[in-house]
Amino acid sequence: MRAALYNGPHAIEIGERPDPVIQEPTDAVVRVVLSCVCGSDLWYWRGESPHDEGPIGHEFIGVVDEAGSAVRGVKLGDMVVAPFVFCDGTCPNCEAGVTSQCVHAYIPGSGGRDGGQGEAVRVPMASSSLVPVPGSGHSDEILRSLLTLADVMCTGHHAAVSAGVGAGSVVAVVGDGAVGLCAVIAAKRLGAERIIALSRNPKRQALAREFGATDILPERGDAAAEAVKEATGGIGVDAALECSTATSGCEVASRRLAPTFRSCSPAFSRGGSTPVGCSTSKPTSTGSSQHTRRWTSVARSSR
Ligand SMILES: [Zn+2]
């Protein structure tokens, strides 16, 4: 099969990989339908973070092409969302709902493993990792939306939930990339009354408005903190969602915007650890499988 292969900074090419096969009864092989590039893929491409040479990509949806004899919950032909961390579903961390911290966590597209930016992926622990999509015959538009459930929508949603966003909340979103914009959607969906998006990119500002942002502030750093304070009558926000993965954004979100420290930095930071100063109700990243399941059950109930 063909797959994108990382050969070092600024060197990604299409190459050949062995077709994935079932190795354990708990494996499935998923034929990739849609895949995308994460912001964290750009870090190693630029040389800002380490990455093993070989396959890449951890955000994809696809169709189950083969399923091992012990796989439950998904079957041949199912359209599935593959959360960005595969998990066993049984360890204490999984049972606590933080599946991204599974003690057997398996990230596709790392360490020589099949990646989502390839034609097919062997998925271990398929029963607890893959999330079947209800219905069939989905439009291209729906498929593109489903792809966001592999990472960015769940991550933005996790930020909003972890920071306690609810009806009437005043929220600031730091970062206007895919996760930040998804956090705006999540805050709106959870009933936030006011959503302040910190953005200076006109196209992203327009998207933030479309998704529910009520205020746009272009300031950064200390000036952003001052601008948010001024915009909220000197009080600050109820929840600050740090979605930029930059240490400076984390500093602003956790220490300046929300006096009650209800902030959350859900995404992986460059280099793989959450910067000191990020106050989160969960230590790092999202319980991706859990949130994908919640979102797909929302889709199911609204059909
Ligand atoms: Zn686990």
For ligand 1, an ion, list residues with CB under 5 A: 87-88, 91, 94, 102
Looking at the chain, which residues constitute the CATH 3.90.180.10 domain(s)? Answer: 2-150
Contacts of 238 (CB under 8 A, 6+ apart): 164, 165, 169, 170, 171, 258, 260, 262
Distance 286 CA to ligand 1 centre (A): 13
Architecture of domain 2-150: Alpha-Beta Complex (3.90)
Separation CA 57–CA 4 (nearest Å): 8
In angstroms, the Cα distances linking 31 to 64, 147, 199, 250 are 6, 14, 37, 37
Contacts of 131 (CB under 8 A, 6+ apart): 80, 81, 82, 83, 149, 289, 292, 293, 296
- Tokens standing for residue 267: 């995404």
- Tokens standing for residue 276: 């000191």
**Residue-level pLDDT at 59:** 94
Looking at the chain, which residues constitute the CATH 3.40.50.720 domain(s)? Answer: 153-285
Place 256 in a pLDDT band, splitting at 50, 70 and 90.
low
In tens, the pLDDT along 24-61 reads 999 999 999 999 998 889 999 999 999 999 999 999 99
Residue reference for tokens 């994908």 = 292
Q: Write down the pTM of the prediction.
A: 0.81
- Average pLDDT score over residue span 255-267: 53
Distance 278 CA to ligand 1 centre (A): 24
The answer to whether residues 259 and 276 touch, using CB atoms and an 8 Å cutoff, is no
Residue reference for tokens 């999509």 = 133
Distance 95 CA to ligand 1 centre (A): 7
Distance 263 CA to ligand 1 centre (A): 26
**Residue-level pLDDT at 80:** 97
**Residue-level pLDDT at 249:** 56
Distance 85 CA to ligand 1 centre (A): 10
Residue with the bigger pLDDT between 114 and 245: it is 114
In angstroms, the Cα distances linking 121 to 56, 64, 130, 173, 284 are 11, 10, 12, 34, 25
Least confident of 20-24, 87-91, 144-148, 150-154: 150-154
Distance 24 CA to ligand 1 centre (A): 17
Greatest pairwise CA separation for the chain in angstroms: 61
**Residue-level pLDDT at 301:** 41
- Average pLDDT score over residue span 228-233: 92
Contacts of 196 (CB under 8 A, 6+ apart): 170, 171, 172, 173, 213, 214, 215, 216, 217, 228, 231, 232, 237
On average, the pLDDT of the chain sits at: 85
In tens, the pLDDT along 188-204 reads 999 999 999 999 999 99
Residue with the bigger pLDDT between 268 and 179: it is 179
Distance 83 CA to ligand 1 centre (A): 13
- Average pLDDT score over residue span 277-302: 44
Distance 62 CA to ligand 1 centre (A): 23
Distance 104 CA to ligand 1 centre (A): 6
Residue with the bigger pLDDT between 267 and 151: it is 151
In tens, the pLDDT along 53-67 reads 999 999 999 999 999
Residue with the bigger pLDDT between 281 and 249: it is 249
Architecture of domain 153-285: 3-Layer(aba) Sandwich (3.40)
Helix (H) or strand (E) holding 216: strand 215-217
Q: Which residues pair with 38 in a beta bridge?
A: none
Distance 92 CA to ligand 1 centre (A): 7
